[in-house]
Amino acid sequence: MRGARILGTGRALPPRVVTNAELTTRMDTTEEWIVQRTGIRERRFVDPGTGASDLGVQASRVAIERAGLTPKDIQFLVFATLSPDMFFPGCGVLVQEKMGMDTIGALDVRTQCTGFLYGLSVAEAYVKAGFYDYVLVIGAEVQSTGMDLSTAGRDVSVIFGDGGGAAVVGPSDPGRGILSSHLHSEGKYARELMAEAPASIEHPRISKEMIDAGRHYGTMNGRYVFTHAVRRFPEVIREALEANGMTLSDLSIVIPHQANLRITQAVAKALEVPPEKVFSNIEKYGNTTAASIPIALDECIEEGRIREGDIVCLAAFGSGFTWASTLIRW
């Protein structure tokens, strides 16, 4: 079986920067409170009329060009998001149309923070098996239009931002590129981090009463998320290393989902690796959910922090609960 590797990456970040200072004018909070709790100093918000598919297209154009390909070369695409342009259809088909691609398959993934890694595992499997040569994987989010930007919603709304990232996966020699992917879920914690409406179990799916109660906004049990994240991140990173006969000393860099700086710091401590081996850019962009790993990966490559032969581990934890890791020999 042939290998599969990332041929090109790209990212898209809205030009509008929203600082903590701006949020203090909309809710009862302070710069110090936000930074202490999350490590975030600013995030990006889209302009009106911009959807997750638009950010996905922008990031994809860069990734495809860097891979030395054109949109017509892409044979399958996977789009991960919790904030699609519309309830249905998914964003994958919108990207296919906006980029003028052939009538390729377009798959949408809804595992929230782990969405990009779940999508990457699909691309890995298809390419390694020879079904497709070039698969596009996108993670993009527009969180800003779905948050309660008032004091009532501050525990959640100070954390999230908008952005998109993409990667093109193609064939490689065995032993180079994506070595393995590891996916997990634990649905008994689904309600600890969720947006419960619109919902098909409700009749109607959304109502004025539901909106008045704020049931369409995301809610989070921060204590549960933190406790489980700092356990599952190290577990799934070690799982990936063990599956490939490696140890933590073999790691060149870990690129985690940018959930919260305190979680990232706790994971580095649990793994007993130096902070410089665990990449973080959350202070600039906040938590961009499915987009955070491809954005961070693209920045790492651009900054020269990943070189040929490096062992790179991507890891994520989030709503579901779901968690995942991908180990790559660059």
Q: How far apart are CA 13 and CA 165, in angstroms?
A: 9
Set 113, 182, 228, 260: catalytic member: 113
Burial (CB count <10 Å: 0-12, 13-18, 19+), residue 307: exposed
Q: Which among 20, 91, 228, 287 is annotated as catalytic?
A: 287
3-state secondary structure of 6: strand
Q: Is 287 a catalytic residue?
A: yes
Catalytic (active site) residue 113: yes
Could you say which of 20, 182, 228, 257 is catalytic? 257
Of 182, 183, 189, 181, nearest to 321 (Cα)?
Answer: 189
Distance CA 105, CA 132 (A): 11
> Quick check: 78 and 122 in contact, CB under 8 A?
yes
Please name every residue paired with 168 in a beta bridge, in sequence order, or none if there are none: 8, 136
Is residue 134 within 8 Å of 75, Cβ to Cβ?
Answer: yes
The answer to whether residues 41 and 20 touch, using CB atoms and an 8 Å cutoff, is yes
CA 137 from centre of chain: 11
In whole angstroms, what is the distance from residue 310 CA to residue 253 CA?
8
Cβ 320 vs Cβ 120: under 8 Å = no
Quick one: tokens of 59?
């990031």
Is residue 216 annotated as a catalytic residue, yes or no? no
- Say how far apart CA 92 and CA 122 lie, in whole Å: 14
Which backbone phi and psi does 25 adopt, to 5 degrees?
-85, -10
Residue 134 CA to residue 169 CA, distance in Å, equals 6
Active site (catalytic) residues:
113, 257, 287
